[in-house]
């Protein structure tokens, strides 16, 4: 196995990129970007320069990150959740998520009318439109479901290009949903519904104590919970593993001994940064170049779709005077799903929005496939 494909090498580079990102974010010139955005950018650059492979290559380390580390990260972050957040932010989050869903549908129809992809992509164009509508309502799992239904997976080159464009624009939108609410908060301040009195800046605070006992408790609870959730999901397929993970984490989060565990925030942030670095590697420019005019059509289609989505959800949210962070996280629950919604909430230093964002993303997972199939069917008529 070449060194570049060695999981230990890739893991070392990802950790080095996080270290470099934390250092860069401590500098005045780049502090406004924040660690999450710098991590994504550096990982994308490293992947395209051939320093590390793309997560699309199927390397075992990346598979482990998405299959195991991301769910463990969800569990750890949920240990910080105050259940008051669902009462105070749940309604607005759900409302903005549903507005974002309608915005995605509008964006898909607008992109279809402007780009006219059938003339470039061919008979699979309506299926591709449905795939993008599905993924930008509830995440990538829905894109794959629609692709399998219409047999797009049998067209390897098209399916690869669709996924690369999805990952590229999706990654850019993660950065956008971290930057835009901060900018809008300065331009048009909004009162936060519920926000902890203190925040944590990973780039400048290194004194949060982590002892062996706390690390062992977090590891034991996280690993055993994810293991049990996966087993239950296979035994009772109607119960998604992520719902079990969230439920158990919330139960633990209300216990007094969990509130005394040291290092939850630091460890949770580190896991999120590893996940975001893996996401950044999915921005594979070479795959797009190899598909030529189809890639251009897909890029234009998705850019229009996401722009329309963003304009509608932030525009309506502004008219309703909603918390900018809630709008951004609801949008990310649409575009990226519950994992990136949680990452966005953590990056915006809003642990109070972790649970509402998680629930919105889970709703998207539930309805995205149905919406994508309906849109594909409508466009093929």
CB atoms within 10 A of CB 82: 16
Q: Kindly tell me the number of DSSP H helices and DSSP E strands found in the chain.
A: 18, 0
Distances (CA, A) of 300 to 196, 303, 329: 40, 5, 24
What DSSP string runs through 13-58? Answer: HHHHHHHHHHHHHTSTTTTTT-HHHHHHHHHHHHHHTTSS--GGG-
Both tokens assigned to 276 = 């975001």
User: What backbone phi and psi angles, to 5 degrees, belong to 237?
Assistant: -55, -20
Residues with Cβ < 8 Å from 169, sequence gap 6 or more?
Answer: 299, 302, 303, 306
pLDDT at 205: 46
Both tokens assigned to 277 = 């670095």
Rounded Cα distance, 194 and 91, in Å: 13
Q: Is 156 exposed, middle or buried (0-12, 13-18, 19+ CB in 10 A)?
A: exposed
pLDDT at 201: 47
Per-residue pLDDT reduced to its tens digit, 100-127: 999 999 999 999 999 998 888 888 899 9
pLDDT at 199: 43
> Could you tell me the mean pLDDT of each successive run of 10 residues in the chain, 381 residues long?
87 95 84 78 90 85 87 81 63 91 96 92 90 88 81 78 86 89 86 52 54 89 92 84 80 82 83 85 76 86 96 95 93 87 82 82 82 90 69
Q: Is 197 helix (H, G, I), strand (E, B) or coil?
A: coil
Element spanning 242, H or E: helix 241-253
pLDDT at 192: 66
Residue with tokens 């309805």: 367
What's the pTM value of the predicted model, to 2 decimals?
A: 0.73
Residues 360, 94: contact at Cβ < 8 Å?
yes
Task: Give the burial string for 347-370 (b: 16+ CB within 10 Å, else e).
Answer: bbbbbbbbbbbbbbbbbbbeebbe
Residues 166, 152: contact at Cβ < 8 Å?
no
Output 141-146 pairs: Cβ under 8 A, ≥24 positions apart: 141/337, 141/365, 141/368, 141/369, 142/364, 142/365, 142/368, 142/369, 142/372, 143/372, 145/369, 145/372, 146/369, 146/372, 146/373, 146/376
Q: Is 129 helix (H, G, I), strand (E, B) or coil?
A: helix
Closest to 363 in 3D by CA, of 197, 257, 235, 243: 243
Residues with Cβ < 8 Å from 47, sequence gap 6 or more?
Answer: 53, 54, 280, 281, 282, 283, 284
Q: Is 191 helix (H, G, I), strand (E, B) or coil?
A: coil
pLDDT at 200: 43
Residues 131, 332: contact at Cβ < 8 Å?
no
pLDDT at 194: 54
Rounded Cα distance, 152 and 144, in Å: 9
pLDDT at 88: 61
Rounded Cα distance, 93 and 85, in Å: 10
Q: Is 8 helix (H, G, I), strand (E, B) or coil?
A: helix
Task: Compute the residue count for the chain.
Answer: 381
């Amino acid at each position: 196995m070449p060194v570049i494909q060695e999981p230990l090498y890739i893991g070392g580079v990802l950790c080095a990129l996080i270290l470099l990102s934390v250092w860069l974010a401590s500098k005045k010139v780049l502090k406004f970007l924040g660690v999450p955005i710098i991590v994504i950018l550096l990982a994308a650059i490293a992947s395209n320069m051939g320093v590390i492979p793309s997560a699309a290559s199927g390397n075992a380390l990346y598979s482990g990150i998405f299959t195991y580390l991301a769910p463990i990260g969800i569990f750890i972050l949920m240990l910080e959740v105050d259940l008051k957040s669902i009462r105070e932010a749940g309604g607005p989050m759900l409302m903005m998520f549903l507005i974002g869903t309608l915005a995605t549908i509008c964006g898909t129809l607008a992109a279809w009318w402007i780009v006219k992809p059938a003339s470039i992509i061919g008979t699979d164009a309506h299926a591709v439109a449905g795939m993008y509508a599905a993924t930008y309502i509830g995440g990538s799992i829905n894109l794959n479901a629609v692709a399998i239904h219409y047999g797009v997976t049998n067209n390897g080159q098209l399916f690869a290009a669709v996924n690369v464009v999805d990952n590229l624009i999706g990654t850019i939108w993660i950065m956008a949903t971290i930057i835009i609410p901060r900018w809008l908060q300065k331009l048009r301040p909004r009162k936060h519904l519920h926000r902890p009195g203190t925040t944590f800046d990973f780039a400048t605070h290194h004194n949060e104590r982590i002892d062996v006992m706390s690390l062992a408790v977090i590891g034991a609870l996280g690993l055993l919970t994810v293991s049990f959730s996966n087993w239950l999901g296979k035994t009772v397929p109607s119960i998604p593993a992520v719902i079990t993970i969230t439920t158990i984490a919330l139960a633990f989060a209300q216990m007094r001994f969990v509130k005394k565990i040291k290092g939850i925030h630091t460890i949770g942030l580190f896991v999120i940064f590893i996940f975001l670095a893996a996401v950044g590697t999915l921005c594979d420019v070479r795959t797009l170049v190899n598909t030529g005019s189809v890639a251009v059509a897909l890029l234009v289609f998705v850019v229009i779709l996401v722009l329309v989505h963003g304009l509608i959800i932030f525009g309506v949210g502004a008219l309703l005077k909603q918390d900018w962070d809630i709008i951004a996280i609801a949008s990310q629950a649409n575009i990226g799903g519950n994992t990136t919604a949680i990452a966005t909430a953590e990056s915006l230093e809003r642990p109070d929005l972790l649970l509402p964002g998680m629930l919105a993303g889970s709703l998207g997972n539930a309805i995205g496939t149905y919406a994508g199939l309906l849109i594909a069917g409508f466009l093929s008529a």
